[in-house]
Structure 1
Amino acid sequence: MKSLTIPKNSVFAVAGMVGVGKSTMTRVIASRLSFQASYENVAKNPYLEKFYTDFERWSFHLQIFFLAERFKEQKRIVENGGGFVQDRSIYEDVGIFAKMHADKGTMDAVDYETYMGLYDAMVMTPYFPHPDVLIYLEGPLEAILDRIDERGRNMELQTPRAYWEEMYRRYEQWINSFTACPIVRLNITEYDLLSKEEDVDRIIEKIAEVMQKKTIPCD
């Protein structure tokens, strides 16, 4: 690796659609840098399984739960002085999931307005630091769907393919207009975190290079 260093108080967010490998990336990068890993609270989410059976009934509840959990985690990161890798960003909750349900009518317009009001209030507080780098995972839709199948979560396996296709399109549009902080884009077909140490080194080097260049100003 080049002699590039990553500050110990850095904060990274790992983004990408369901099944793309965010949790693995979070764990591996956090371990290598001796950072804390911040994971989605999926197991304790009381709405997630219900949501997959009835989007319209549970989308607002699900997104409010994620928003609250995300904000609590942001507060913890600030209080600990950084050194975190986050599994999924709050920007995805807002720009992908909540917006998709509002656009498709599976979230009531009043509920969406309430949700966005809460989000806007949260981002104006000192407990909402932008990540130093967004690590964005992408790849062919079929490769991602294969990973979803391999993971074998019933609620995901029962989800119509059209839902994943819609999400995939929205992620592509979202990342192409994302400006909140610098981005490292990684294609999931071009690395193997579990078998190749050199791939991990290469990714960390890319992150360090982006931080050093500072070509995209954070808001």
Structure 2
Amino acid sequence: MNAREKYQIPNDAVITVAGTVGVGKSTMTKALANALKFKTSFEKVDNNPYLEKFYKDFERWSFHLQVYFLAERFKEQKKIFEFGGGFVQDRSIYEDTGIFAKMHYDKGTMSPTDYETYKNLFDAMVMTPYFPHPNLLIYLEGSLEDVLGRIQERGREMEKQTPISYWEEMHERYSTWIDNFNACPVLRINISDYDIVKEAGSIDTILEKVGRSLNVMTLR
């Protein structure tokens, strides 16, 4: 019996993994997809033409970066559902407006005009009955100390040089965002409760929770 049958996870399910920088979204995405024999969808970071510029000058590049992410994630979401599902996705399109764009607007690193333009574009693309929402959003959460430790551990220079105050702000905003999120069903998992790198078997516990969450949604 394969994992999908064992935990009653539909073959066409679309699962999105969300959470702040450093919580292990990519690792979780790979582990879930491998166990379920699903395809993966990853955030485009390495070839992003704005990301490095953004970390050097938030105010100059925040709008450009957010529009780039929105366009890429929208195209990817469309592709996933046209393919017929069976995907695990690294980071959700909802975080773009709910976390990053709003944070830069609030802090003055995105102008009111740019923020309004971005938000109108997001609403027109995503907040419609035609947009295909995931079956489940897995939200990875952890303490600020755990998150900062993981950022240092993975060693991306542009992240290590970013002020800790930025990560503190992001951590707080993520907590507020997920408490009010309702675009699709949510399964919250604390990163201190498992270690899928050192203990491969711990993915089974997570799969059981995923299957239970999806089955509860089906019964509603």
State whether TM-score is above 0.5.
yes
Question: Which residue of 28, 39, 43 maps to 1:36?
Answer: 39
Which digits, 9 at most, give the CA deviation of each residue in 1:60-114, with x for residues without a partner? 0000000000011011012101111110001111100011011111001111111
Question: Which residue of 10, 20, 28 maps to 2:13?
Answer: 10
CA contact (8 A) 2:14 2:134 kept: yes
Shift of 1:197: 2.9
Shift of 1:125: 6.7
Shift of 1:55: 0.4
Quick check: 1:117 aligned with 2:120?
Answer: yes
* Structure 2, unaligned runs of 5 or more: none
Alignment root-mean-square deviation, CA? 1.7
Quick check: 1:23 aligned with 2:30?
Answer: no
Quick check: 1:209 aligned with 2:212?
Answer: yes
> Partner amino acid for 2:137?
L
Alpha carbons of structure 1 residues 150 and 107: separation in structure 2 relative to 1, 3 Å: same
Work out the CA distance in 2 between the residues paired with 1:146 and 1:185: 20
CA contact (8 A) 1:182 1:216 kept: no
Query: TM-score normalized by structure 2?
Result: 0.94
Shift of 1:14: 0.3
> Partner amino acid for 1:55?
F
Percentage of matched positions with identical amino acids: 62
Shift of 1:216: 11
* Structure 1, unaligned runs of 5 or more: none
CA contact (8 A) 2:135 2:214 kept: yes
Deviation above 3 Å: which 4+ runs of structure 1? 1-4
Work out the CA distance in 1 between the residues paired with 2:147 and 2:100: 18
How do residues 31-110 of structure 1 correspond to structure 2 at under 5 angstroms? 31-110=34-113
> Partner amino acid for 1:85?
V
> Partner amino acid for 1:148?
I
> Partner amino acid for 1:145?
L
CA contact (8 A) 1:16 1:136 kept: yes
CA contact (8 A) 2:99 2:173 kept: yes
Partner residue, 2:165? 162
Partner secondary structure for residue 198 of structure 2: coil
Work out the CA distance in 1 between the residues paired with 2:60 and 2:123: 24
CA contact (8 A) 2:81 2:132 kept: yes
CA contact (8 A) 2:7 2:207 kept: no
Question: Which residue of 151, 156, 160 maps to 2:154?
Answer: 151
Alpha carbons of structure 1 residues 215 and 176: separation in structure 2 relative to 1, 3 Å: farther
> Partner amino acid for 1:139?
G
> Partner amino acid for 1:53?
K
Partner residue, 1:131? 134
